[in-house]
């Protein structure tokens, strides 16, 4: 295989919280926070990715850290372009070589304007040609599902910004739904709960630590607690508090219920023929949000359908896009528009 065919293709799972880059024949070689630090005094880029994440809450007033994506779509075009350019340069190096063809994931309900913004940002960031694939399709491929057959597959991809729900058959999405309730929303609810019930202010990182360590959607056999530090809501003085897993479950209850309700809605619209397949094969969960303790159990009890968390759930979208890279030459010849639907 030639140098050109091996190294001209990449896939980018550009997420609200984290971005992953997959290079053909090499796998995932970059995983960094989707954050950019900007010096507002001269609008220069200070840091991107992990270096920018370390600056959160610790920078002088002129330096701000920005999440250029919100709810899975671009909220700041210029900063997204800067971030993509940085990630592409990191994995592509500085040697002179052909610009890469890039596959990028988008939420299944992304609008035409939002899709165009992603493509333009990637092109201006250094890509030669850009293909878009909807996240549930990529997640299903990455989870190892054979989506080419007539058999129905039910996939739930819970990222940071969105939860995408889809029924897939014959290589396409028969039904789809996307809601802006996912990992970031979980963190927001934890922050709000701690502020209201403990009169303590905490940041996003602390909220995520709480979620990962003691967060749950279903009653645990053995409940747990964690000591955290924050600022007193009244006087701002640092304080330590103890938070229990029962409290966090209560904080997340509303968001979990919304996800379950939308799953029900999609199932109610599914044809009886596809429902038979889904009951037989179960529901597959992917994405970082799928790892919330007990969420699979809640969904299984609510739907009466077996629920399975995919292996490498966090990386499924990137892995699925990586498999798509093997077919770009065929897609180039098949599609007039360079978009995978």
Give residue-wise pLDDT tens across range 99-145: 888 999 988 888 888 889 889 988 988 888 899 999 999 999 999 99
CA dist 117 and 136 (Å) reads 20
Condensed to tens digits (0 to 9), the pLDDT of residues 73-111 reads 888 888 998 998 888 888 876 556 678 889 999 888 888
Per the structure block, which two tokens stand in for 210?
């709480």
- Please give the pLDDT value at position 172: 87
Q: pLDDT by residue (tens digit) across 302-328?
A: 999 999 999 999 999 999 999 999 888
Find the Cα–Cα–Cα–Cα dihedral 1, 333, 174, 17, rounded to 10°: 50
Averaging pLDDT over each range in 20-24, 91-95, 264-268, which range is the top one?
264-268
pLDDT digits (tens, 9 = 90+) for 173-230: 999 999 999 999 999 999 999 999 999 999 988 999 999 999 999 998 899 999 999 9
The more confident residue out of 92 and 233 is 233
Position 340 pLDDT exceeds 80: no
Here the tokens at position 51 are 């270096």
Complete domains list, the chain, with CATH: 3-138+316-334 (3.30.420.40), 145-181+256-314 (3.30.420.40), 183-251 (3.90.640.10)
Burial group, residue 279, by CB count within 10 angstroms (0-12, 13-18, 19+) = middle
CB atoms closer than 10 angstroms to residue 170: 11
Q: What is the C-alpha separation between 45 and 68, in angstroms, rounded?
A: 13
Position 281 pLDDT exceeds 90: yes
Crossing angle (nearest 10°) for helices 316-324 and 135-142: 90
Asked if residue 98 lies in contact with residue 4, where contact means CB atoms within 8 angstroms, the answer is yes
**C-alpha torsion 330→333→339→341, nearest 10:** -60
Q: 33-80, pLDDT tens digit by residue?
A: 999 999 988 889 999 999 998 888 777 888 998 999 888 788 888 899
Identify the CA nearest to 159 among candidates 84, 282, 75, 71: 71
Instruction: Supply the DSSP symbol for 282.
Output: -
Between CA 187 and CA 39 the distance in angstroms is: 27
C-alpha dihedral sign at 136, 140, 141, 142: positive
Q: Within 13 Å and on the Cβ side, how many CA atoms surround 339?
A: 10
Whether residue 6 has pLDDT greater than 50:
no
**What integer pLDDT is reported at residue 95 of this predicted model?**
59
Answer whether 17's CB lies under 8 Å from 34's CB.
Answer: yes
Q: What is the DSSP string of 64-127?
A: EEE--EETTEES-HHHHHHHHHHHHHHHH-SS--PPPEEEEEE-TT--HHHHHHHHHHHHHTT-
Check the CA dihedral 13-14-15-21 and report its sign. Answer: positive
Which one, of 290, 70, 12, lies nearest residue 164 by Cα?
A: 290
Helix, strand or coil for residue 59? coil
pLDDT recorded at residue 336: 41
**Which residues is 133 bridged to in the sheet?**
105
Query: 3-class SS at 167?
Result: strand
Q: What is the pLDDT of residue 328?
A: 80
């Amino acid at each position: 295989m030639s140098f050109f065919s091996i190294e001209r293709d990449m896939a980018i799972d550009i997420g609200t919280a984290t971005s992953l880059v997959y290079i053909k024949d090499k796998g995932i070689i970059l995983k960094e926070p989707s954050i950019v630090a900007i010096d507002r005094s001269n609008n220069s880029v200070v840091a991107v990715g992990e270096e920018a994440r370390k600056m959160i809450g610790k920078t002088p007033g002129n330096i701000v850290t920005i999440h250029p994506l919100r709810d899975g779509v671009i909220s700041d075009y210029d900063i997204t372009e800067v971030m993509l350019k940085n990630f592409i340069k990191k994995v592509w190096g500085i040697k002179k070589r052909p610009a890469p063809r890039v596959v990028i994931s988008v939420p299944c309900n992304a609008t035409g304007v939002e899709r165009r913004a992603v493509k333009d940002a990637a092109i201006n960031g250094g890509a030669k040609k850009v293909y878009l694939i909807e996240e549930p399709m990529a997640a299903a491929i990455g989870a190892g599902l054979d989506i080419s057959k007539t058999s129905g597959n039910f996939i739930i991809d819970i990222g940071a910004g969105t939860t995408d729900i889809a029924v897939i058959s014959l290589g396409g999405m028969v039904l789809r739904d996307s809601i802006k309730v996912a990992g970031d929303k979980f963190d927001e609810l934890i922050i709000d709960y701690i502020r209201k019930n403990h009169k303590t202010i905490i940041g996003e990182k602390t909220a995520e630590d709480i979620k990962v360590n003691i967060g749950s959607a279903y009653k645990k056999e053995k409940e747990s607690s964690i000591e955290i530090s924050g600022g007193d809501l009244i006087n701002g003085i640092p304080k330590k508090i103890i938070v229990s897993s029962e409290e966090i479950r209560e904080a997340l209850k509303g968001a979990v219920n919304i996800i379950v309700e939308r799953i029900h809605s999609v199932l109610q619209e599914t044809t009886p023929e596809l429902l038979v397949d889904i009951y037989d094969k179960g529901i597959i969960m992917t994405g970082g949000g799928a790892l919330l303790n007990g969420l699979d159990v809640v969904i299984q009890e609510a739907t009466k359908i077996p629920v399975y968390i995919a292996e490498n759930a966090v990386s499924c979208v990137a892995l699925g896009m990586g498999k798509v890279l093997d077919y770009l030459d065929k897609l180039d010849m098949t599609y007039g528009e360079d978009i995978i639907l």
